Structure 1
């Protein structure tokens, strides 16, 4: 069967880490994050109906990312229980973040905020990806991971679901519960979802965390450090600075 070049699962241009297309993708995603931050007050001023429509549209895009990926697996004859189920951390974050957009659940937000953003950022910087631009899989990969970050930041900046230290704990619990369930599935299917049985074949941050199974413990420590730093730098420090400014203004009056 002859496949169009942009859909071919067997003969496609390979992905090259930090190639021009990779750097452009990182730059576009960064620009979207900055744009959402700059527009957060404007978006917050929209009516509840308008914001609900925006959340639904973004959630539909996120669900579509997973659906078209599964269809591509089937179309290319490469779907399998060992590699195609949505059991990677970012796949779980994608689907649950879409559900968060629809439900505005504080529990989901707390569980996903740091795990979803950190996982998606790691994936964007060091993708476990075999297809270069402009293959379907390249585009789907970066769109899906960008949506995870944008959805979680939207719920934080616009819908104002504010995190706390409990969110750090919630994200750690989410990662570990997900890993435990996925590991059982890995053993049953002889699979390697979430890289719980060996490292990926492509370069990744796991290469710096030692051999199996020590890199799993390294992941735990790295996750706790990253989640804590994200909370301190993005929320705790800005909130304290705002409090001091308000206190200073009150004293001046």
Structure 2
């Protein structure tokens, strides 16, 4: 138990090894099942309630256990453990959305929860491999986060428009501005990867350097938001319109 919960890297993370591929498969499987049974979920409120509280409990437990892991191992520091990274922020907003069923929160996490979680699962910035605690916490958090985001969209009366898409993007730009100009310099951190690209080999490494890195980052973010809106319209709004 001690070594499993320690900060010492006992087994290095293997990109696209069997355990990594399994996590990617589980991500896709969970999303697919939610989409396949989306119509049934809208009418089975008891099942949705059970799923909602289960996902909420897992997300809360994941965040608490991660903070505990950092403190117990003497690794906690504000640059890594404060929840200002996009997936961490999305996790907190998703918890609140699961708790309150707030449609504005559901709107925002649709755009900042699913795609970043998928990218984190495919290209994780992770040193600890299977079966250490940090491996399980990282993947469980991102898988459950994406499933919860999709569940909220499927089961809510939320209607995303193009203007709401742009509104959500503006929220992200405001948060990025606060993070880039205040939080990162204050903590000497790299939240949202605004100070530098990730240490892992991710698509962000293809965005260039200096001004072009930030320009391309904003452009890619906008294109991703528009793409999510397009998928939403094709997948959800057409179905809701037929009800």
- Common fold, TM-score beyond 0.5? yes
Distance change >3 Å, CA 167–CA 151, structure 1 → 2: farther
SS of the residue corresponding to residue 197 of structure 1 reads coil
| Cα pair 1:6 1:134 within 8 Å, conserved | yes
SS at match of 1:83: helix
Q: How many Å apart are 1:43 and its aligned residue?
A: 2.1
Are residues 1:13 and 2:11 paired? Answer: yes
- What is the match of residue 204 of structure 1? 202
User: What residue number does 1:164 align with?
Assistant: 161
Name the CA shift for 1:171/1:129 in 2 (closer, same or farther; >3 Å): farther
- In structure 2, the gaps of 5 or more residues are none
Correspondence for 1:98 = 95
SS at match of 2:52: helix
Q: Give the whole-Å Cα distance in 2 for the aligned partners of 1:86 and 1:57.
A: 21
Q: Does 1:82 align with 2:79?
A: yes
The structure that has the greater radius of gyration is 1
Q: Confirm or deny: 8 A CA contact 1:113 1:167 kept in the other structure.
A: no
Partner SS state of residue 14, structure 2? coil
Q: 1:127 to 1:212 in 2, by over 3 A?
A: farther
Query: Cα distance 1:189–1:58, how it changes in 2: closer, same or farther (>3 A)?
Result: same
Stretch moving more, 21-30 or 228-237: 228-237
Deviation of 1:240 (Å): 5.6
- TM-score w.r.t. the length of structure 2 is 0.90
Whether the aligned pair in 1 keeps the contact of 2:93 and 2:105 (CA below 8 Å) is yes
Provide the C-alpha distance between the structure 1 equivalents of 2:238 and 2:52, rounded to a whole number of angstroms. Answer: 30
RMSD over equivalenced CA pairs, Å: 2.1
- Is 1:111–1:167's contact at 8 Å kept on the other side of the alignment? no
- Alignment of 1:180 with 2:168, yes or no, is no
Structure 1 residue runs without a partner (length 5+): 247-253
Instruction: Number of aligned residue pairs: give it.
Output: 241
CA contact 1:114–1:171 (8 Å) conserved in 2: yes
Structure 2 counterparts to residues 149-160 of structure 1, below 5 A: 149-160=146-157
Q: Aligned partners of 2:15 and 2:168: how far apart in 1?
A: 28
Distance 1:213 1:137 in 2: 34
Aligned in 2, Cα 1:242/1:78: closer, same or farther, shift over 3 Å?
A: closer
Give 1:100 shift.
0.7
Question: TM-score, structure 1 length as denominator?
Answer: 0.87
Residue 72 (structure 1) aligns with: 69
Verify: 1:43 aligned to 2:41, yes or no.
yes
- 11 and 141 in structure 1: CA distance in 2 versus 1, 3 angstrom threshold: closer
Map 1:75-154; keep pairs closer than 5 Å: 75-154=72-151
